[in-house]
């Protein structure tokens, strides 16, 4: 483990960053780092690669958070698809995922698959094919789940199919047993090519397209009901306010946060926020002209408390949700080649309640073929106040359909708020409480696994944070 300290003065901004990077695993196959993110479930990190494995078509793996116990759970065969994308979704002991392409020989153009958390029971739920482009081709991002229904997107195919473009993409749903596949929305001209994953909040799905807004081919933010009705454009990027968003939105309260790879004040992308009703768009940060500490964002933001963490192709960075406190962490200066973390990365950081974890694209590590790492910046912390949080109990744990929050000896809980955060740092639930014992339904949460329950007082000060397991 190495500890790095960077103190940098740029124009009127002074950035002093103290962060730790820990190399957890070095990949051995060229390109095996893949285009996926890690998933934290059952106390382990799960991920996929786009190369390596028994058939050199990539594999599903698990690893302990301390870097030990790396296991290949399943090696993809060419007919099962290649180039696994997004992150795995964990639900009730089962992992769900997608591959974005076929083997180049058959007509397969991506797959939806599942396997048990121990690697057994691998099965393909659906194969997308070039012979049936109306159902979509080339899945993109990750799946989300509500009950027994999976939701996702494809980057190409759909009802608006054009030979030159290969289709404009779709939003789809499918049952967890592979039945009842349906197209909820086919993207049309002027809104094509979704990128990243859907964000689920109650009955709504939110997402972004990477091309074609109202101006300059710059992209859109949209929302749609889970039944496919009510498709609405919330925001058109116009290059000045950002261009080509290529990740997934994150939710904090009624505010969506995201980033673009291009556009903004200097053409190198920005971090933004917008209300869930489409109002209040605000640029939080744009790249400093001519600097090298933030260039072309990749993946998605992670929200921990009031801090957003993200990555570009040269560094990690953090910024407060009000746009202040920008810091950057130049992994290109951590170690020397070939152990450099100077990589071009896709995917998203994953939060387990105490640290952030990431995986690179194809460079970095002792073999320069990709690396899994742990990231613990100094500003990654849990706040508390003087109230006695030890009397707050949450049960049952593990839970299935509901939890009870018992505030114990807290005299006045009027105006308090409960937020539930998933392993990606996304807020998936928020509800006010006003009594000593409160029952919270878990039926609308997307998937099983480990979640954080955060309790705030009436001044929005954090009282307590507890981990729960939802089965």
**pLDDT tens digits, 145-193:** 888 899 999 988 888 765 545 678 899 999 999 999 999 999 887 777 7
- Which tokens hold the place of 171? 């939003």
**What's the average model confidence in pLDDT over 416-442?**
82
Q: Is the pLDDT of residue 344 over 80?
A: no
Cβ burial of 177 (10 Å; 0-12, 13-18, 19+) is: exposed
**Residues in a beta bridge with 222:** 207, 233
Burial of 172 from C-beta contacts in 10 A (0-12 / 13-18 / 19+) = buried
DSSP, res 135: G
d(CA 366, CA 96): 30
Q: For residue range 183-209, list pLDDT tens digits in order.
A: 999 988 777 778 789 998 888 999 998
Please give the pLDDT value at position 294.
47
Give yes or no for residue 116 having a pLDDT over 60: yes
Confidence category of residue 471, pLDDT binned at 50, 70, 90:
confident
Q: Mean pLDDT, the chain, as a whole number?
A: 80
Tell me which of 345 and 416 has the higher pLDDT.
416
CA nearest to 152, candidates 59, 69, 226, 221: 226
Residue 208 has phi, psi (to 5 degrees) of -140, 150
Please, which residues have CB within 8 angstroms of residue 207's CB and are 6 or more apart in sequence?
153, 171, 194, 196, 197, 198, 199, 221, 222, 223, 224, 248, 249
Model confidence at 290: pLDDT above 80: no
Interval 66-86 mean pLDDT:
88
Q: Which residue is listed with tokens 């499918």? A: 174
Separation of alpha carbons 289 and 455, rounded Å:
40
Strands 82-91 and 35-36: parallel
User: pLDDT band for position 332 (50/70/90)?
Assistant: low
Residue 337 has pLDDT above 60, yes or no: no
* Residue scoring higher pLDDT (384 or 379): 379
Residue with tokens 């933001």, as numbered in its chain? 301
pLDDT band for 460, please (50, 70, 90 cuts).
Answer: confident
391 versus 373: the higher-pLDDT residue is 373
Res 246: pLDDT: 75
Going by pLDDT thresholds of 50, 70 and 90, the confidence category of residue 114 is very high
Q: In what order do the strands lie in the sheet with 149-156?
A: 137-146, 149-156, 170-175, 182-186
d(CA 146, CA 327): 36
CB 101 within 8 A of CB 78: no
Tokens representing residue 454 in the block:
């955060």
Distance CA 345, CA 286 (A): 20
What is the reported pLDDT for 269? 83
The angle subtended at Cα 288 by Cα 211 and Cα 255, nearest 5°, is: 55
Q: What is the pLDDT of residues 229-261, one digit of tens each?
A: 999 999 999 888 888 887 889 988 889 999 888
Task: Please provide the DSSP assignment of 331-396 as one string.
Answer: GGGSS-TTS-------S--EE-SS-EEEE-SS--TTTTS-EEEEEEETT------SS-GGG-EEES
Indicate whether 8 pLDDT > 50: no
pLDDT of the residue at 162 = 53
pLDDT given at position 225:
95
Overall average pLDDT of the 382-401 stretch: 67
Quickly list H helices, 291-408. none
* Residue 14: pLDDT band with limits 50, 70, 90: very low
Q: Which two tokens stand for residue 135?
A: 């159902």
Phi, psi for residue 391 in degrees, rounded to 5: -85, -5
Q: What is the value of pTM for the model shown?
A: 0.79
pLDDT-derived band at 61 (thresholds 50, 70, 90) equals very high
Decide if pLDDT at 384 tops 80: no
402 versus 347: the higher-pLDDT residue is 402
């Amino acid at each position: 483990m190495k500890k790095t300290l960077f103190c940098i003065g740029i124009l009127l901004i002074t950035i002093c960053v103290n962060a730790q990077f820990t190399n957890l695993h070095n990949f051995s196959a060229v390109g095996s780092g893949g285009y996926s993110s890690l998933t934290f479930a059952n106390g382990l990190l799960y991920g996929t690669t786009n190369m390596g494995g028994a058939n050199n078509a990539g594999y599903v793996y698990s690893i302990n958070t301390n870097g030990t116990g790396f296991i290949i759970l399943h090696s993809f065969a060419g007919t099962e698809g290649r180039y696994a994308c997004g992150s795995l979704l964990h639900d009730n002991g089962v992992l769900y995922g997608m591959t974005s392409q076929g083997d180049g020989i058959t007509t397969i153009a991506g797959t939806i698959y599942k396997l048990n958390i121990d690697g057994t029971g691998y099965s393909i739920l659906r194969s997308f094919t070039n012979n049936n482009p109306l159902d979509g081709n080339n899945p993109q991002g990750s799946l989300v789940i509500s009950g027994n229904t999976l939701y996702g997107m494809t980057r190409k195919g759909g009802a608006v199919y054009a030979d030159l473009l290969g289709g404009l993409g779709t939003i789809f749903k499918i049952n967890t047993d592979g039945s009842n596949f349906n197209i909820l929305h086919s993207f049309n001209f002027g809104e094509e090519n979704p990128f990243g994953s859907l964000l689920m909040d109650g009955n709504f799905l939110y997402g972004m397209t990477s091309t074609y807004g109202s101006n300059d081919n710059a992209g859109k933010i949209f929302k749609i009901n889970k039944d496919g009705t009510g498709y609405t454009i919330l925001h058109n990027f116009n290059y000045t306010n950002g261009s080509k968003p290529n990740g997934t939105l994150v939710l904090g309260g009624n505010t969506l946060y995201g980033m673009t790879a291009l556009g903004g004040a200097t053409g190198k992308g920005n971090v933004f926020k917008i209300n869930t009703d489409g109002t209040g768009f605000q640029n939080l940060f744009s790249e400093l002209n001519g600097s090298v500490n933030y260039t072309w964002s990749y993946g998605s933001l992670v929200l921990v408390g009031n801090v957003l963490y993200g990555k570009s192709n040269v560094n990690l960075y953090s910024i407060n949700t009000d746009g202040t406190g920008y810091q950057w962490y130049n992994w290109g200066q951590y170690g020397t080649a070939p152990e450099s973390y100077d990589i071009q990365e896709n995917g998203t950081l994953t939060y387990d309640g105490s640290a952030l974890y990431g995986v690179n694209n194809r460079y970095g590590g002792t073999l320069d073929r990709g690396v899994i790492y742990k990231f613990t910046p100094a500003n990654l912390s849990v706040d508390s106040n003087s109230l006695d949080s030890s009397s707050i109990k949450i049960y049952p744990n593990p839970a299935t359909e509901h939890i009870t929050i018992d505030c114990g000896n807290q005299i006045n809980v009027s105006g308090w708020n409960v937020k539930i955060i998933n392993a990606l740092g996304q807020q998936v639930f928020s509800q006010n409480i006003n009594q000593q014992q409160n029952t919270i339904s878990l039926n609308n949460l997307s998937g099983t696994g480990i979640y954080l329950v955060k309790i705030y007082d009436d001044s929005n000060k954090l009282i307590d944070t507890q981990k729960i397991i939802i089965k």
